[in-house]
């Protein structure tokens, strides 16, 4: 979610195909027998509890494989058709030809095609396995299509929790992660889902979703034991509702006000001290190495992302406009850009960071000093990993190790919030 999440190496990642292969070769020497992946629960959940995840966008071809027979709902010769019981186990080529989607050589005349795998409702797309259904949507220019995974909320969360936290972390930390991720997803779906054909992307832009490969028994336990639980707080109109429960990897010692990073304002999204993450975060995340970027590259990236900055010319100076000061460090929240034309402008520090380093892996946070060094800009004395708003994931793990419950972790990082259970 919102760039800069935990990028820990996943624990025991096995794709569905690999699981099937392991099951199939149970009698062979050296090959361990594993249970096939469990069926997907809640396939009949109402649309408000189905998450539409953008898996691929602006593509012209992909490959689908299923372990079970599947159906295709689409139009052939302008008549709505359902092709049932397509054979499983064979890779199927999906292509866009002359503006039309073609599946295994069969052209469809409509712009939206649904693919429904039978029980256990799992499909493999370009090598990655996901639960639920698949939608193929031709883009308005007819030159490409998007692929959207329609997946029940709890199955979606299993693919998120295991991607955002190592599955071997404390059960209460995993439960806190599940509740935060459920709340964030439902908020985004509610705010933006009605204006587009999908609710969330599968990347750090929202929450990292890796589908079946992120699942484990521990992750499913965390999701099942918190089923339907979301965080709510008082909104400005007096109502009690969910809010964007942002979270990030390692706050560095103090979380940040959302208004300074994302520009929104909710009672629980205020900075709190975090004495916890230093005990869990990798030393190279808690205090990261100095990094440098070529000043010409920085100007080019900023101008490409923010065309209005063109009036500045070359970026000649970057200075601190606003920062949050803590006991022994400060987090930059706004920078002033001075251009070679003499004009200047302001930018949120987090936007500057992710424009210069879209992966967020080099400039890991805005807790750093920015100085000019010849024809380069250096980011020094870095501390923490991520935007720092909301729950600190490493801090959550440290609190869970101390015996804190998921509820205690969440009310610490989202003060003024409470857990509510949605029935569905
Ligand atoms: Zn922290």
Whether 4 has a pLDDT exceeding 50, the answer reads no
Q: How far is the CA of 228 from the centre of ligand 1 (A)?
A: 26
The span from the CA of 419 to the CA of 179, in Å, is 8
Q: How far is the CA of 255 from the centre of ligand 1 (A)?
A: 7
Q: What's the confidence (pLDDT) of residue 254?
A: 98
Q: How far is the CA of 274 from the centre of ligand 1 (A)?
A: 5
Q: Which helix (H) or strand (E) holds 102?
A: strand 100-103
CB 229 within 8 A of CB 357: no
Q: Is the pTM of this model over 0.75?
A: yes
* Coil/strand/helix, residue 371: strand
410 vs 81: which has the higher pLDDT: 410
Q: What's the confidence (pLDDT) of residue 36?
A: 54
Q: What is the mean pLDDT of the chain?
A: 90
Q: How far is the CA of 173 from the centre of ligand 1 (A)?
A: 13
Q: How far is the CA of 16 from the centre of ligand 1 (A)?
A: 34
Whether 79 has a pLDDT exceeding 80, the answer reads no
Q: How far is the CA of 240 from the centre of ligand 1 (A)?
A: 27
Q: How far is the CA of 235 from the centre of ligand 1 (A)?
A: 26
Q: How far is the CA of 35 from the centre of ligand 1 (A)?
A: 38
Mean pLDDT of the 109-113 span: 94
Q: How far is the CA of 344 from the centre of ligand 1 (A)?
A: 34
Question: Residue 165 phi/psi, 5° resolution?
Answer: -140, 150
Using 50, 70 and 90 to split pLDDT, how confident is the model at 382? Answer: very high
Collect contacts of 344-353 with beta carbons under 8 A, ≥24 apart.
344/312, 345/308, 345/309, 345/312, 346/321, 347/302, 347/306, 348/260, 348/261, 348/263, 350/261, 350/262, 350/387, 352/302, 352/318
Q: Which helix (H) or strand (E) holds 231?
A: strand 229-234
Q: How far is the CA of 403 from the centre of ligand 1 (A)?
A: 17
Q: How far is the CA of 265 from the centre of ligand 1 (A)?
A: 20
Q: How far is the CA of 188 from the centre of ligand 1 (A)?
A: 24
Q: How far is the CA of 395 from the centre of ligand 1 (A)?
A: 5
Report the candidate in 423, 401, 394, 402 with the shortest Cα–Cα distance to residue 413: 394
Q: How far is the CA of 407 from the centre of ligand 1 (A)?
A: 17
Mean pLDDT of the 214-242 span: 96
Q: How far is the CA of 254 from the centre of ligand 1 (A)?
A: 6
Question: Residue 172 phi/psi, 5° resolution?
Answer: -70, -30
Task: Please state, for a pLDDT cut of 70, what percent of the chain lies above it.
Answer: 92
Q: How far is the CA of 390 from the centre of ligand 1 (A)?
A: 10
Q: How far is the CA of 347 from the centre of ligand 1 (A)?
A: 25
Q: How far is the CA of 351 from the centre of ligand 1 (A)?
A: 21
Q: How far is the CA of 6 from the centre of ligand 1 (A)?
A: 12
Q: How far is the CA of 384 from the centre of ligand 1 (A)?
A: 8
Question: What is the per-residue pLDDT across 248-288, written as a single tens digit (0 to 9) for each?
Answer: 999 999 999 999 999 999 999 999 999 999 999 999 999 99
Whether 26 has a pLDDT exceeding 70, the answer reads no
């Amino acid at each position: 979610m919102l760039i800069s999440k935990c990028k820990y190496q996943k624990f025991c990642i096995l794709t569905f195909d690999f699981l099937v292969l392991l099951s199939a070769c149970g009698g062979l020497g050296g090959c361990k027998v594993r249970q096939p992946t469990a069926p997907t629960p809640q396939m009949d959940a109402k649309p408000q509890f189905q998450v539409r995840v953008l898996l691929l966008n602006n593509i012209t071809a992909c490959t689908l494989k299923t372990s079970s027979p599947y159906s295709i709902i689409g139009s052939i010769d302008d008549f709505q058709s359902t092709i049932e019981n397509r054979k499983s186990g064979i890779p199927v080529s999906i292509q866009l030809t002359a503006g039309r989607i073609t599946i295994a050589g069969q052209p469809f005349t409509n712009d939206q095609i649904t693919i429904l795998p039978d029980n256990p409702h799992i499909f493999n797309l370009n090598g990655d396995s996901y639960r639920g259904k698949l939608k193929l949507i031709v883009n308005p220019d007819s030159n490409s299509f998007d692929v959207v995974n329609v997946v029940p909320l709890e199955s979606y969360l299993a693919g998120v929790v295991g991607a955002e936290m190592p599955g071997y972390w404390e059960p209460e930390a995993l439960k806190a992660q599940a509740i935060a991720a459920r709340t964030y997803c439902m908020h985004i779906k509610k705010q933006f889902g009605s204006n587009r054909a999908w609710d969330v992307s599968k990347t750090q832009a929202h929450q990292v979703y890796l589908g079946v490969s992120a699942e484990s028994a521990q992750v499913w336990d965390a999701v099942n034991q918190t089923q339907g639980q979301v965080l709510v707080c008082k909104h400005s109109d007096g109502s009690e509702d969910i809010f964007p429960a942002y979270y990030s990897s390692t706050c560095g010692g103090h979380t940040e006000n959302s208004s300074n990073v994302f520009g929104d304002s909710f009672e629980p999204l205020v900075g709190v001290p975090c004495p916890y993450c230093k005990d869990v975060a990798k030393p190279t995340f808690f205090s990261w190495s100095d990094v440098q970027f070529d000043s010409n590259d920085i100007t080019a990236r900023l101008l490409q992302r923010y065309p209005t900055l063109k009036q500045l010319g070359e970026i000649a100076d970057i200075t601190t406009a606003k920062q949050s000061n803590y006991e022994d460090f400060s987090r930059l929240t706004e920078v002033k850009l001075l251009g070679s034309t003499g004009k200047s402008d302001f930018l949120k520090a987090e936007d500057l960071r992710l424009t210069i380093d879209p992966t967020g892996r080099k400039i890991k946070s805005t807790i750093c000093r920015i100085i000019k060094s010849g024809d380069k800009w250096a980011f020094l004395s870095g501390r923490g990993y991520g935007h720092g708003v909301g729950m600190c994931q490493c801090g959550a793990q440290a609190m869970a190790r101390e015996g804190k419950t998921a509820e205690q972790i969440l009310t610490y990082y989202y003060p003024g919030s409470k857990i509510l259970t949605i029935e569905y």
